[in-house]
Amino acid sequence: MSPDDAETPPHGTCVSIDGKGVLITGASGAGKTALALTLIRRAKTGGFEAGLVADDRVILDGDGNGVLARCPAPLASKIEVRGWGIADAANFAVDAARLSLLVRLVAPHDALRFAQDHHETVEGHRLACLRLPEGPAASAPTAIFAALGLPVWL
Alpha carbon distances (Å) from 140 to 62, 108, 150, 154: 26, 12, 14, 12
Domain 3-147, classified CATH 3.40.50.300, yes or no: yes
61-77 tens-digit pLDDT: 999 999 999 999 999 99
* Residue 81: pLDDT over 90: no
Distance CA 9, CA 61 (A): 10
Domain ranges of the chain: 3-147
How far is the CA of 139 from the CAs of 24, 60, 67, 152, in angstroms?
15, 27, 26, 10
Residue 6 has pLDDT above 90, yes or no: no
What is the pTM (predicted TM-score) of this model?
0.90
Residue type (1 letter), 29:
G
Q: How confident is the model at residue 153 (pLDDT cuts 50, 70, 90)?
A: confident
Please give the pLDDT value at position 86: 94
Give the pLDDT of residue 21: 98
CA–CA gap between residue 76 and residue 62 (Å, rounded): 20
DSSP bridge pairs for 87: 79
What are the pLDDT digits (tens) for 108-139? 999 988 888 899 999 999 999 999 999 877 78
